Amino acid sequence: MHPPRVYLTGFMGSGKSTSGPLVADRLGYRFLDLDDEVERAAGVSISELFARRGEPVFRALETAVLCEAAEQEHVVVATGGGALATEGNLLTAETSGVIVFLKLSAEALARRLRDAEGKPLLLDEDGQPYSDAALLDRINEILRKRERYYSHADVTVEAEDLTPDQVADAIVQALPVIA
């Protein structure tokens, strides 16, 4: 039997929301995207939430939604890129399920994230997308800050050269079986 909750973590653009439903389907679980749930709870997009109320309000809602997910059974949860980058949220995920880190290089992430629309953490102080070089620097900066949290994952999937189906297969194959 697989763990009751599988948390997908990794930088934005790593494929959590794309491979998550495929993993859920393979396991016969439900799929839950934390960003979608935060938007539903807030009644606005994440970009609007950041602009109107700031990152701390977004993070508080994200924590509340994560805690709700931690009480559900047979669910694959795509966390936001920074959702598990706090001690409390990381502990919630660690104690209630298995954490899977989708790992990609900063360069691959930058290629995927060139259009930063809807990604407030990848906009400059004027609200404009970073240039290619600045985007890579910004991604590296955020990755450095989150590295210690990502290192707590139970499973790491090197997702850079894999299709979403291959990522999903790698995740399912790597999940521990619980007696």
- Least Cα distance to 41 among 62, 71, 67 occurs for 62
Residues in contact with 43: Cβ distance below 8 Å, sequence separation at least 6, in sequence order? none
Q: How far apart are CA 80 and CA 161, in angstroms?
A: 21
Whether the CB-CB separation of 7 and 99 falls below 8 Å is answered with yes
Ranking 18-22, 74-78, 146-150 by mean pLDDT, the lowest is: 146-150
- Look at 57-61, 169-173, 175-179 and tell me which has the smallest mean pLDDT: 175-179
Q: Is the confidence at residue 128, as pLDDT, over 60?
A: yes
Q: What is the domain partition of the chain in residue ranges?
A: 5-174
Q: What is the pLDDT of residue 57?
A: 92
CATH code of the region 5-174? 3.40.50.300
- pLDDT tens, residue by residue, 145-169: 999 999 999 999 999 999 999 999 9
Please give the C-alpha separations between residue 144 and each of 64, 119, 139, 147, in angstroms, as whole numbers: 25, 18, 9, 5
Encoded tokens for 47: 């970009």
pLDDT tens-digit map of 26-75: 999 999 999 999 999 999 988 888 889 988 899 999 999 999 999 999 99
